[in-house]
Amino acid sequence: MKKVGLFIDTWYPMVDGVIKVVDNYARRLTRYCDVVVFCPETRGYSKEEDEKLPYKVVRCHSLPIIGYDYDLPTPVLDPVFEAQVLRSGIDIVHIHSPFSVGMAGVLYAKLHKIPAVATLHSQYRQDFEKPLHTDVAVNVAMSGIMRVFNACDECWAVNAGIKDLYEADYGLIAPCKVRLNATDHRPVEDPQEAARIVNETFGVPADATVFLFVGRINFIKNIDFTLRALARAKELGLRNFRMLFAGRGQDEEKLAALVKELGLQEEVIMCGLTDKPMLERLYSRAKLFLFPSLYDANSLVQIEAACQGTPTLFLEGARTAATVTPGVNGYISAPGEENYARAILDILADEPGYARVSAAARRDLYLNWDDVVRDVYADYCALCGEGPAPERVDRMGLLYRRLREQVTQAQSALEGISGDLDGIKELEEYLDSGLWLKDFEADERGDLPRDIHRDALTEDAVYNLLEDIRDLRTLMNRFVHATARRRK
């Protein structure tokens, strides 16, 4: 597979979880193939910033939506964009939203008979209920987006809860599996130094208990609930704490007014947008990540918090909490501000229990994008028809045996090995790709048949074979020139 097309209905400089997912996919997929991100023009974007990215960005025209952070993509009104899509030569389509740009991706896949994948990032019924008001209108909108998802060859849900929601309530009939999100954050090397920097930067007392929220400042995330629960916890005896909000959004003024109304001016700190190193320090400094959102499907911020060993307190019924085992690697409160406030106090009162949950959060919930995208690329290859693992391993094992024999008898087999350059190239590409590791892990689990040739799964042996071939090049002038020509 040579080129992947990622389709999304919003893009930088807007920042949200889905944009960060696609950006992390694109950056890491460039290690394996060419990548093009198809997206709309968004407020404040610049071509210069797009060109700094390590992958190609193709934008379509869009219209601003009054009262919202997002813009309305209009690819059907942009013939230049449509021409670029048609000339893209992509081998697989991966949509991250089911609206106009995502629909363009699925249409391209159907016209060119290539695979289409969709990631199920959001609870769309919630998105529609607020602006559409009536069940009839919501059902019509849901029917439209589900036609897009059901037209895909495979859908990836961001956790088991979202998979169940789409299959049981939304009418998903396309094949679906769980593909978890991850983060590019790393644990801070010196938590004490990280805490010192946060304290100095944001005026946090060194002995204060810190709670944190990271994301869009939007009441749809239930951040007003967080403030009211903290106000109640303060009434119940919570002292010397700070609630830090890191992010920007349309409800900043409403949040500030609520802070004043609840008398939390001393406790609440607005951090604004911060860079990744500062975010890592904020997560490390926080005792708890407060995330009572019932809107999010699988937020990246809870994974970022887990990276630093900071557990998240969710609210019962949250789909985004599907990866968490309550009391083991995170916390889930019963509904209501009173219950949430008491949950905070109970967690703080059980320091040994908190220490266990903190360690388990990092152990169980922290995933790195490098590992996730390696598996994503292997799945792309499988969807593009590169063959199931047993046949591939058998073919690579046979290649190894054939090439091993030829190199051992290099002087007499010069003609034979120079005629097998395609096999060498295929073996090299197999070892360098994510497929080798995927097949190795499958073999370790005993998933592969015992009667196939598995020689190529011995990494040292394959590396030694390829090194022997390189050493022989000084003696085999014809072989050297032929290899050089094929690699150009």
Three-state secondary structure readout of 304-354: HHHHCCCCEEEECCCHHHCCCCECCCEEEECCCHHHHHHHHHHHHHCHHHH
In a domain, 183, yes or no: no
CA separation for the pair 460, 404 (Å, rounded): 13
Q: What is the pLDDT of residue 391?
A: 56
Say whether both 59 and 163 belong to one domain. Answer: yes
Q: What is the pLDDT of residue 488?
A: 46
- Rounded to 5 degrees, φ, ψ at 420 are -115, 30
Say whether both 409 and 438 belong to one domain. Answer: yes
Q: What is the pLDDT of residue 368?
A: 94
Say whether both 243 and 320 belong to one domain. Answer: yes
Q: What is the pLDDT of residue 389?
A: 57
Say whether both 318 and 350 belong to one domain. Answer: yes
Q: What is the pLDDT of residue 419?
A: 64
At 459, list the tokens.
């990494």
Say whether both 27 and 173 belong to one domain. Answer: yes
- 3-state class (DSSP) for residue 120: strand
In a domain, 374, yes or no: no
CA separation for the pair 216, 246 (Å, rounded): 8
Query: How many domains in the chain?
Result: 3
Unique residue bearing structure tokens 């087999």: 413
Say whether both 391 and 362 belong to one domain. Answer: no
Residue that terminates a domain, selected from 147, 178, 209: 178
Say whether both 130 and 266 belong to one domain. Answer: no
CA separation for the pair 422, 133 (Å, rounded): 61
Say whether both 64 and 156 belong to one domain. Answer: yes
In a domain, 306, yes or no: yes
Do 202 and 278 touch, CB atoms closer than 8 A? no
In a domain, 245, yes or no: yes
Say whether both 219 and 295 belong to one domain. Answer: yes
> Nearest-CA neighbor of 144 among 91, 103, 180?
103
- 53, burial (CB in 10 Å: exposed 0-12, middle 13-18, buried 19+): middle
In a domain, 124, yes or no: yes
- The residues of the chain scoring below 50 in pLDDT are 482-483, 485-488
Residue that terminates a domain, selected from 136, 152, 178: 178
Unique residue bearing structure tokens 């303060």: 234
Residue that terminates a domain, selected from 146, 178, 210: 178
CA separation for the pair 69, 418 (Å, rounded): 60
Say whether both 348 and 448 belong to one domain. Answer: no
CA separation for the pair 367, 305 (Å, rounded): 11
Q: Which domain holds residue 397?
A: 387-487
In a domain, 305, yes or no: yes
The secondary element (H helix, E strand) that includes residue 461 is: helix 459-472
Q: What is the CATH number of the domain that holds 97?
A: 3.40.50.2000
Say whether both 106 and 195 belong to one domain. Answer: no
In a domain, 360, yes or no: yes
Q: Which residues pair with 330 in a beta bridge?
A: 326
In a domain, 373, yes or no: no
Q: Is the dihedral of CA 460, 465, 469, 471 positive or negative?
A: positive
Do 216 and 286 touch, CB atoms closer than 8 A? no
Q: What is the pLDDT of residue 395?
A: 61
How do residues 188-236 score in pLDDT, each as one tens digit?
A: 999 999 999 999 999 999 999 999 999 999 999 999 999 999 999 999 9
How do residues 382-440 score in pLDDT, each as one tens digit?
A: 999 865 555 566 667 777 777 777 666 655 565 666 667 778 888 888 878 778 888 88
Q: What is the pLDDT of residue 281?
A: 98
Q: Which residues pair with 289 in a beta bridge?
A: 212, 312
Q: pTM to 2 decimals?
A: 0.74
Say whether both 315 and 339 belong to one domain. Answer: yes
